[in-house]
Amino acid sequence: MLSIRYLDSTPPDRSRYQGVLATSANGIRALARLVSWRDLPVWAVGDASAREADSLGFVTVHRAAGDVATLADLVAGRADPAAGPLLHVAAQHLAGDLAGALASRGFAVEKAVLYEAEPAADLSPALIAALAEGRLSVALFFSPRTAATFARLADQRGFGESLRPIKAWQADLSAEWYYMPHAALTLAVFGKKIRDDIYEGVTANVNLGTMQYVGGPPGSVPGTPFLWTVTAPTNGAKDTYAGVELTWQHMTEMGFGVHAQFTATSSKGYDQNGNSLGSIDAVPPVTSSLSLIYDKDGLSGDITWDHASGYTYACNECTEVPGWPAKADAFEWVTASIHYKFPLGLEFYVEGKNLTNSVARTYLNGNSLLPWAPGQSVGQSSSGVGAGYSAYGRTFVAGSSYQF
């Protein structure tokens, strides 16, 4: 995104400084081009600039944890402000205020502009093709200017709609009633809106530069563009959530208690074109749980029943059959445990999970004859655990622990 151009600056006077501040590998390279001395200590922002200083022969190199704040802490902890100013080798545009952070601790910092990072005029052909084909799902940038340059060039090439920032608004309101010690009743309502979310979208009629020749070999008949249908992560979805949650907990002085929770959620999703995707993936409309508890004199135990209603596992544009979502059946899960803790810190316990031997089932378009789970596609894979027909079996664990 940025090309480096080294400047023919006046070499810094070694006798004026107590050390060199390097916030990039390019800065230390630019300095090494201009001077022959290597005996001033280098304070490097991270591993990359520290390795570059080592490779160029600087005798003493201190490295921070990768950001301006830790570099300022490192310098302040080991250098003396009275020993003289610090030379900061850098470009004209800086990320972070290192000079300000050190000035507040009594250090003088002099900046030497030894190189320039010039923005690229366009994306490379390989990157343009990768973006058009949806082969990139994550991009890492190591400076705000690099990220801004990429966003500008991508927008210039028509990819700007895929780079909109995700925005979310959320509101919560709750009321709690503690009607006696160790007992409470809570009611909460919540709502959330997400704009320009990322989802697996399908774009038809994409020109990737492929030519097709009908009626003869290339050269004998005119070629026409072959238009592809591309499935890739897409920016622009809109999601809404709203719901209510009711919780009750009551513990008695005899050690017996109960905990109950009920949550109802309504959700709706839309693609980047405003088409409805139905309910948002993996958000059950209703979840509930009920626990019976005992906790007194070192002995504790519980048995818990959890329930999730049927829900949309994958939206109607996210499966192999357009318009057919993957729907998960309702699922119930029962766990239990018992613990005994001796006064000296020794504890024994027995735990059991999925005592009802429940099986998670997911079907294409809700049809019980069409079990569905995410499969593998070119260059990537996803897990089908929890979908299709996932049998977990019952699990029992017995053990002990000692705290001292």
pLDDT, tens digit, 9 for 90 and up, residues 168-225: 999 999 999 999 999 999 999 999 999 888 766 666 677 878 888 888 888 788 888 8
Whether 91 shows a pLDDT value over 90: the answer reads no
Question: How confident is the model at residue 379, as a pLDDT?
Answer: 42
Q: Which residue has the tokens 């020109």?
A: 207
Taking the C-alpha atoms of residue 319 and residue 239, their distance in angstroms, rounded to an integer, is 19
What would the DSSP string read from start to end of 153-193? HHHHTT-GGGGPPPEEEEEEEEEEEEEETTEEEEEEEEEEE
CB-CB neighbours of 263 under 10 Å = 18
pTM for the full predicted model: 0.58
Question: How confident is the model at residue 32, as a pLDDT?
Answer: 95
From 5-14, 249-258, 303-312, the region with the lowest mean pLDDT: 5-14
Residues 6+ apart with CB under 8 A from 109: 21, 85, 86, 88, 98, 99, 102, 103
Question: How confident is the model at residue 380, as a pLDDT?
Answer: 44
Provide the token pair at 287. 């979840």
Whether 242 shows a pLDDT value over 60: the answer reads yes
Quick one: average pLDDT of 299-320?
Answer: 89
In the structure, what pLDDT confidence band is assigned to residue 378 with cuts at 50, 70 and 90? very low
Quick one: average pLDDT of 103-110?
Answer: 94
Beta strands 19-22 and 86-90 are: parallel
Angle at 21 between CA 15 and CA 120, to 5 degrees: 120
DSSP class of residue 218 equals B
In the chain the domains, ranked by start, together with CATH numbers, are 2-118 (3.40.50.10090), 120-156 (no CATH), 165-200+230-402 (2.40.170.20)
Whether 240 shows a pLDDT value over 90: the answer reads yes
Taking the C-alpha atoms of residue 60 and residue 52, their distance in angstroms, rounded to an integer, is 12
